[in-house]
Structure 1
Amino acid sequence: MTEIEDTLPGPFGALRSQLLDAAAAFAGEGTGGADPVPGILAGLVEDVDRALREELEIFPVCHHSPASALAMARRLREKRPAVIYLELCEDLRPLLDELRNCRLPVALQAFATELDGFPAEWSPLSVVAPVTEASAEYQAIAYALDTPGVELVLVDRSTDHVFQWQPRDDSPADGGEPAAGGGEPEDGVESETGGEDAALHGDAVGIEIGDLRPRFAELEAHLLHHGKVRHWSEWWDQYVEQPLTGADYDTYRQVMVMIGSLFRRLRPERDARHDRDEDRERYMWTRMREHLAASGADPARCLYVCGAFHAASRVEQFGLRADTPYEITPRTATRWQYGLIPSSHSAIEAQFGLAPGSVSIAAATWAKAVKGGGVTPYRLKGQKGEKPKTVRTRRAPEPGGPVADRLSGFLSRPPAPNGLDEDELLGWCVDIVRLARRNGYLASTADAIAVYETSVLLAGLRGRGRPTPYDFQDAAVTCIEKDTVPGRRDVRRLCEILLGGDRVGQVGYDSLPPLARDVLDRLEPLGLDLTKRTIQRALLDLDASPELRPCSDLLWVLRRLLPDNAVRPIMGSRRLGERPIQESWDLDLGRHQRSIVELGYEGVTIEQVLERRLRRTVADPKATAAVALTAVEDAILYLGGGRIADDLGNRAVELLAAERTVDDAPDVLRRIRRLLAYYRTTQATLPKWCERFVTAGYAHYCTLLPTAFLDEDTGVRQVAAMLGFLFSMESLALSLGCDHSQLELAVRQSHPEAPARIALLWAARSQLGLLPVAELRARYDELLANPLVVPSIPLYLSGFVQALEPVPSLAPVVVEVMSKAFARLPDPVLLPWLPKLITTLRDEAAELVPVLVREAGRMFPASLPAVDAWVPPWSARRPAASVPAPVPASAGAAADLVAAHPAVCDAVAGLLGYDAGWRPAPGGAGHGPVAALLAAHDGTAHAVAALIGRP
């Protein structure tokens, strides 16, 4: 206590002495000099005195506070300042002139996608600063913009510095500039105003004037407990907002600075925002001194509007007379785009961790105070929305003379009690019952009475003279809401709608970026008001009204770039080679104005934005050939192809040649087939990049094929897609100079061990003629006959099914082997495999199922009676010749030729489906079906012998 002076020169000396005496009495004896309470209490008074003695008048505010807005409106009419310094990012100043074209609330936004000086993973960077009508900053902006000769200067750090001061190990989206409560919902309060309106700001970093919330968790919990409230917004409204709404300017100013000083001194020592807050204060005071020196303005005619937390600053740069320099670092080379986006009450609450409905209640408090308090607020000329009523302004006396101590009186006497406004409360109760009935609740007049009485009871229990909107909310939930919510809205949400609603702003046409205006102009032939926040149905008959075809093209581009529910096709599709006749769309562009505005930061036209995004996608280091082919397809569908499609295709060739895995082989095969089919039907010749892609892919997959067969990390689907590419593109690749022996060598070098891959290799060898179909059937029959291999038969079958991709002609064999498996496999093996077979076909080979079904339909009987007499083709017995037919003497030369080359004869007989049964007889001719075949067709034998030069 001895280190603290007992007196303070100026009007606050007596208050300081009273607080020190109270601290000493509270602490008692035995604490020594370690008690921090006297220092804190004395510091509060010192901070207030310091702020009020500053030559430049400081106006402390709290964000979205009706009391701050009312005090600002009164003070501006009294002081008529010539310069207003506003705590807002200095590079947002040009946007303020566009506010007159908008309907509040809206948010000022800075946006950057191409970063220079920041981590690439932070992209895109976005900063928003919401503006509502019930805010002190809007009153200052409206006054400055509509009053001739008044200059508005934004002095807070730029948006670039917001991210410069962000630690590199944090993500800006995770709270680079958190709100008072850390950007999280208030304790005990669940967000019930979610949905699209609450997400209007996206993951942008929020900037607001006047961050007033305790950063000491224990202090906030203490205030909520003793204030008998549930969350901070309710405490602030009850104990600060309402008492200051009708207070004079000096009282308002001193109380706000004291609260800011209290929260500042009671924050944790290791507060992560401490250094950032002080750097902001140094930045703002440096900018103000620079402006005063450059402009020569009189500080007495200036007003500094900042958060109450910053008004109690103790940095060495505080005040105009401070001479401590502060170096402002230059901005990075990041190119920032600026614009206005729609905002809403729920979006502000979600952005800054406020209680649901608190901003709506603040707006209702503002409207009531304006109506009954005799204050005419400032409003930008031409502002969209309902005009406020003009009432008589009760002009306060001009400030002059020394500052009086209003803080002592405010702290020593209780606030004047406000009587119960029965008419207001009765209106709330009747209206909430009406709203509840409309939303499915079985509410009645008795419920309205119960809500009224419960509101009064809750206010009395909480020590309030009149029920607040929060008391009314709690009472309505208690009396009306039952076990379930019958509709989309619960009672708490209905109360928010009743007390002001979730007002949603809108950016005017003149304030939109060129791209957004271009979109609205090009969609004008639809005859719809796309600024409405409702879903509208657009019907396009493109044959009867060909002038609507450009609208259809634009809608498909918007479908590609905007969220799914912004532009949704109901009828119609866009695929390569297809030309739609009719289309039907559900358009909800009014609710997604923010997304369209942000597209305007990337280009002048929507097509330019899409082209830049496609090029950026394929240029990404993580891009693959499949991604590039997707970009080529999008370029054809939405941009008409041409040069951009060729550029993207060339990039696809480079990516394919550089790939070391085949994970995307199925996607590559599907897309290149589709693109080749499109080009063959629309152009005389294939583009050069397509030819290069086929040749590069043929060589690439041939090289990787032996490794892929053995690699356990490569799926069977991927290997099948590789073979599908090689076999389906082989004719084109060979015509472009590729070598068939490369493929054959790759297949011969493949030696898989897994059953599914072995079956796939058999199919590939069969396609190349290295494995006859009869031998393939024989190998499978051997597997079925081997008891040790039977449990692995389903794996072989999976490989055979995947083999339909590269070898679709093998469909009869696949149906045969699957039928044999169903007939011969025991149930313990077959039944567990069936679900896996179904999921495999659905997930990996859905396009192969129709092939199997068609082949099975061709092979199996078409009617039920024919099933009993049906014999599977693979099990039919063929009659064998018991007595070999005599061989004519004239066929001796041919018989000698056959006898000299028995292997060839066996191979030909196998291809024809015969069992050669080669057993040379003493006469040189073979017995069995071969001998009979030669005897029956001796003329053919002679012709063949003559062709090869044998008699």
Structure 2
Amino acid sequence: MSDVLQTPQITRQAEYAASSTQDSSRSRVEIIGVRHHSPACARLVAQRIRDSRPDWVLIEGPADFNPRLDELFLPHTLPLAIYSFCSAGELLHRALWSPFADYSPEWQALQVGRECGAQLAFIDLPAWHDAFADISNRYADVNDSEQERLASAYEAELGRQLGIEGRDALWDHLFESSTSSSSDLAELSARLRQYFINLRGTDPGSASNQAREQMMARWIAWAAQQGQEGQQQNRVLVVCGGYHAPMLAQLWPSIEPDIRQDSAAPATPDLHESIAGVSDGSIASTVATGSYLLPYTGKRLDAFHGYASGMPSPAFQQAVWESGLQQAGTQLLQGMMQRLRQKKLPASTADLLAIHVRTQALARLRGHVQPLRNDWLDALAGSLVRDALDAPLPWTYRGPLRRGTDPVLVEIMDVLAGDQAGQLAPGTPLPALLHAVSSELLALDLQPPFSESRNITLALLDEADRGKSRVLHRLAILQIPGFKRLSGPNWAMSGERSEQWQLSHPLEQQAALIEAAIYGATLADAAIARLAEQLAHSHGASALAQLLNRAAQAGLPAFSPGLLSRLHEAISSESRFEVLGQPLAITHGLYRHGHELGMADAPALLELLQLTLDRLLWLAEVHGSVSAQDSNAHLAAWQALRLLLRDAQASTGLPLGELPITRALAVCQRKARHPQAAPLSRGAALGCLLSVAHDDQQQADDIHSAIALLSALPPAALGDALQGLLALARHELIHVPAFIATLRQLVSALDEADFIQALPALRAAFAWLPSFERGELAQQILHLLGSTASPRTLTAPLTGLDAETLARHSWREKQAVAVLGSWGLK
């Protein structure tokens, strides 16, 4: 094995190895490179601290958290994480997690270091430094593409030589089979050292890694020089990611620290000089930073759920840490079999025996003294998966499970992820936002229950309930778990008068509120900042209108001015008719009820409404086909126009009444008559005219036009035109005998082929009729046919097949009868 790990990196190897020899000038410093969340590395770190009893234990972690290290020793339930954030107005939001589990080497360094009386310190850069600008996880295995390329190349070659596929399987094979015996730990230490030397090679690292390593090297050099007067220099043990270890061994002796015994620890870089945009003045806002402990979960740690660092299958790693490899496999196997039986998936006693036999056989074949994680998993797959796989085995890659993964494997991976959930100890400092939210929920009687969920119904026209709705919508903007909207209006003022919410208290709620502190100290401020962040990444009139709608639902008028300006630009450049329906509807609703929502900038909304209407009418003059996926949005745009025209007609003498109603009606008339316009558009335009007709004579003329339109269209276009008519004017048409009679005649005149072609669009058209109106239509059709049958005979489903399938089968049957008839067979 040692031959496989050897490479020509002799210089770097010597430098790193010297950090733990006992006869060199560096003998007071020991650097242990680890893989984050590795039980084997955690055992090694704990044992080395107990054996060497160093004066200082230095750990890769946020140096600005050092004054608050005592918080980590409160009686928490793991896993947990240090959550650090940095924000500056709308332009800068950074967040970084530093997670810990029982089997994390960093956690063991903290716990055993304090147990042995060592001084403890985190020695990495703070989370707000530019070195972490593109990193969300401090303990990621790789932090940049160059590091990933080097690591992948080395591990691929090592795996090829050893005949092992996959990074995690390779790591387990090389390191995780070590026991706690002194000889095994000594061999583990040597292997880790050689492995990380080869992994890093001569790569100087990215700029961010270089900055971090300079900071850590300064800490090591400083700690090595500390000690009481007349005594030897301090013994220092360093725990860091293995990628950094070889470079730190080379860097720290070259640092020239202040060797005075009372010299201060290395200073944290200046906040304003370490953030691009702040240092050059392009970000003028005050920079806010903070770090808090937050509860974590096993699933968030799991590499198969997207976590960028450490060991996969947290429940398995926890069991290994607590009980050892053999017991861990047996315990997890029992849990898996129970889960599979609960899900009614194959898991018999014979399967259990087969899994044990396969696991032991695979372990021996691969040279493992005890079965490793992959031995168990491969045996499970071989014993329980009956069919060919549509996706790779989940443990052969990183990231979320791929589509097509066998259900048995999905359940196995979920059991391995575990259901561990961290919990903060009482008295742990929490951000102001969490306290503010708790106070608001208490004052409004919206506290989620700790046991079962509860549902509430809010009357949106009641001021007290409207206030509750705004708070809940603000929590939804921040994506806080436990506040789920079950029903209610999609638009801020759509006419619906109530909404339902489900309140609960999931384990993730506290963590989500702590993480949301990056946006502000109060719920309103945080929601505004979150919307502003979304605004910076939103493009197009539809997406911006949705933000305006969410701001209105949450009662956040302070957010609106900048958004309205962006909407002006987006609407002015929009080239698709369908896209403008939603902005028109939202702007119209907010203008009519803006004061009720706290959005008092009605003149600005009226200006936006005029701009949107003008652009919509201009685009309506463009003739062309409407794709199937755009049909609903196309009709929604016509419906928004119809509602606005109705409102404008009823607002004579008011600003809304000054909208160009005459122009809009003229556009509808031209659209309805133009032969090159899409049938769906022609029907919708004519339906709009019918719906806003102000006298009986005009409505009669428009009904005659509707009949003429349907009669003049080819069978393939009949359903589309009817869909446009019913979507816009079903109330005006469904009770007109002449229209129903014409429609019946046109459908009856279709031959089999034309009927099958027109049927999907006809069904889509009649879907606009509620069940009661469909019954009325059926009654009129039966009356025209002279039948006394119940309307249910036409509206009730006859079989389990859909109408298109029945029509096709009927047509094919008639074709077959015709062929038989041509041969004289009846």
| TM-score bucket of the superposed structures, by smaller chain | 0.5 to 0.7
Aligned twin of 1:402? none
Question: Among residues 694, 712, 729, which one is paired with 2:648 in the alignment?
Answer: 729
Deviation at 1:367, TM superposition (A): 0.9
Question: Among residues 187, 195, 204, which one is paired with 1:259 in the alignment?
Answer: 195
Deviation at 1:48, TM superposition (A): 1.1
Structure 2 counterpart of 1:367, one-letter code: E
Deviation at 1:520, TM superposition (A): 4.3
Aligned twin of 1:436? 340
Structure 2 distance, partners of 1:687, 1:445, is: 66
Q: Is the 8 A contact 2:316 2:416 kept in 1?
A: yes
1:625-649: per-residue Cα shift (whole Å, max 9, x none)?
Answer: 888876666555434x7xx37x837
Q: Is the 8 A contact 1:515 1:603 kept in 2?
A: yes
Q: TM-score, normalised by structure 1?
A: 0.59
Q: 1:733/1:693 Cα in 2 relative to 1: closer, same or farther (>3 Å)?
A: farther
Deviation at 1:579, TM superposition (A): 9.5
Aligned twin of 2:122? 154
Deviation at 1:138, TM superposition (A): 0.5
Aligned twin of 2:763? none
Aligned twin of 2:274? 331
Question: Among residues 651, 671, 688, which one is paired with 2:586 in the alignment?
Answer: 671
Matched, 1:561 2:445: no
Aligned twin of 2:381? 477
Q: 1:277/1:863 Cα in 2 relative to 1: closer, same or farther (>3 Å)?
A: closer
Structure 2 distance, partners of 1:649, 1:714, is: 36
Structure 1 distance, partners of 2:568, 2:685, is: 26
Aligned twin of 1:110? 84
Structure 2 distance, partners of 1:617, 1:791, is: 37
Q: Is the 8 A contact 1:85 1:303 kept in 2?
A: yes
Q: Is the 8 A contact 1:626 1:667 kept in 2?
A: yes
Structure 1 counterpart of 2:125, one-letter code: R
Aligned twin of 1:881? none
Question: CA RMSD, aligned part only?
Answer: 5.4
Deviation at 1:585, TM superposition (A): 1.3
Single out whichever of 38-47 and 229-238 deviates more from structure 2: 38-47
1:8-33: per-residue Cα shift (whole Å, max 9, x none)?
Answer: xxxxxxxxxxx9xx99xxxxxxxxxx
Residue 313 of structure 1 aligns to a residue whose secondary structure is helix
Q: Is the 8 A contact 1:653 1:696 kept in 2?
A: no
Structure 1 distance, partners of 2:782, 2:521, is: 70
Matched, 1:821 2:709: yes
Structure 2 distance, partners of 1:835, 1:95, is: 70
Structure 2 distance, partners of 1:430, 1:629, is: 52
Q: Is the 8 A contact 1:569 1:584 kept in 2?
A: yes
Deviation at 1:437, TM superposition (A): 2.5
Structure 2 counterpart of 1:223, one-letter code: L
Question: Among residues 306, 312, 316, which one is paired with 1:361 in the alignment?
Answer: 316
Deviation at 1:697, TM superposition (A): 5.1
Question: Among residues 677, 686, 689, which one is paired with 1:800 in the alignment?
Answer: 686
Structure 2 distance, partners of 1:438, 1:531, is: 26
Matched, 1:281 2:213: yes
Matched, 1:347 2:300: yes
Aligned twin of 2:350? 446
Identity across aligned pairs (percent)? 17
Q: Is the 8 A contact 2:455 2:501 kept in 1?
A: yes
Structure 2 distance, partners of 1:181, 1:636, is: 40
What are structure 2's unaligned runs of at least 5 residues?
Answer: 259-265, 279-286, 390-403, 627-633, 742-778, 787-826
Aligned twin of 2:180? 245
Q: How does 1:372-391 map to 2 (within 5 A)?
A: none
Deviation at 1:536, TM superposition (A): 2.7
Q: Is the 8 A contact 2:35 2:241 kept in 1?
A: yes
Aligned twin of 1:760? 668
Aligned twin of 2:527? 610
Deviation at 1:63, TM superposition (A): 1.5
Q: Is the 8 A contact 1:58 1:306 kept in 2?
A: no
1:48-97: per-residue Cα shift (whole Å, max 9, x none)?
Answer: 13553314422313321223222332333344444322222323445644
Q: Is the 8 A contact 1:58 1:303 kept in 2?
A: yes
Q: How does 1:578-657 map to 2 (within 5 A)?
A: 583=500, 585=502, 587=504, 589-613=506-530, 634=550, 637-639=553-555, 644=557, 648=560, 652=564, 656=568
Residue 464 of structure 1 aligns to a residue whose secondary structure is coil
Deviation at 1:133, TM superposition (A): 0.9
Question: Among residues 122, 132, 135, which one is paired with 2:101 in the alignment?
Answer: 132
Deviation at 1:501, TM superposition (A): 3.0
Q: How does 1:72-221 map to 2 (within 5 A)?
A: 72-93=45-66, 96-99=69-72, 100=74, 102-114=76-88, 124-143=93-112, 150-163=118-131, 179-180=141-142, 215-221=150-156
Q: 1:804/1:612 Cα in 2 relative to 1: closer, same or farther (>3 Å)?
A: farther
Residue 317 of structure 1 aligns to a residue whose secondary structure is helix
Structure 2 distance, partners of 1:689, 1:713, is: 37
Question: Among residues 297, 302, 310, which one is paired with 2:236 in the alignment?
Answer: 302
1:787-831: per-residue Cα shift (whole Å, max 9, x none)?
Answer: xx69987764454235457657655444322212333x2xxx422
Q: How does 1:20-35 map to 2 (within 5 A)?
A: none
1:502-548: per-residue Cα shift (whole Å, max 9, x none)?
Answer: 5333445644423224434555697987567xx734456999x9999
Deviation at 1:760, TM superposition (A): 2.0
Aligned twin of 2:714? 830
Task: Tell me which structure has the larger Cα radius of gyration.
Answer: 1
Structure 2 counterpart of 1:312, one-letter code: P
Q: 1:299/1:133 Cα in 2 relative to 1: closer, same or farther (>3 Å)?
A: farther
Aligned twin of 2:17? 48
Structure 2 distance, partners of 1:503, 1:308, is: 27
Structure 2 distance, partners of 1:696, 1:228, is: 66
Structure 2 distance, partners of 1:702, 1:430, is: 65
Structure 1 distance, partners of 2:417, 2:544, is: 50
Q: Is the 8 A contact 1:513 1:600 kept in 2?
A: yes
* Number of matched pairs: 688
Matched, 1:516 2:424: no
Q: Is the 8 A contact 1:69 1:136 kept in 2?
A: yes
1:698-730: per-residue Cα shift (whole Å, max 9, x none)?
Answer: 5x5797799656667999987996797578437
Aligned twin of 2:776? none
Q: 1:670/1:76 Cα in 2 relative to 1: closer, same or farther (>3 Å)?
A: same
Deviation at 1:131, TM superposition (A): 0.9
Q: 1:488/1:554 Cα in 2 relative to 1: closer, same or farther (>3 Å)?
A: farther
Q: 1:115/1:88 Cα in 2 relative to 1: closer, same or farther (>3 Å)?
A: farther
Q: 1:839/1:243 Cα in 2 relative to 1: closer, same or farther (>3 Å)?
A: farther
Structure 2 distance, partners of 1:633, 1:691, is: 17
Structure 2 distance, partners of 1:230, 1:475, is: 16
Residue 338 of structure 1 aligns to a residue whose secondary structure is strand
Aligned twin of 1:948? none
Q: 1:808/1:652 Cα in 2 relative to 1: closer, same or farther (>3 Å)?
A: farther
1:415-436: per-residue Cα shift (whole Å, max 9, x none)?
Answer: xxx9xx7x88777766654443
Q: Is the 8 A contact 2:82 2:292 kept in 1?
A: yes
Residue 504 of structure 1 aligns to a residue whose secondary structure is coil
Matched, 1:236 2:202: no
Residue 64 of structure 1 aligns to a residue whose secondary structure is coil
Structure 2 counterpart of 1:558, one-letter code: L
Structure 1 distance, partners of 2:67, 2:52, is: 25
Deviation at 1:595, TM superposition (A): 2.9
Structure 2 distance, partners of 1:529, 1:707, is: 50
Deviation at 1:448, TM superposition (A): 2.4
Q: 1:811/1:630 Cα in 2 relative to 1: closer, same or farther (>3 Å)?
A: farther
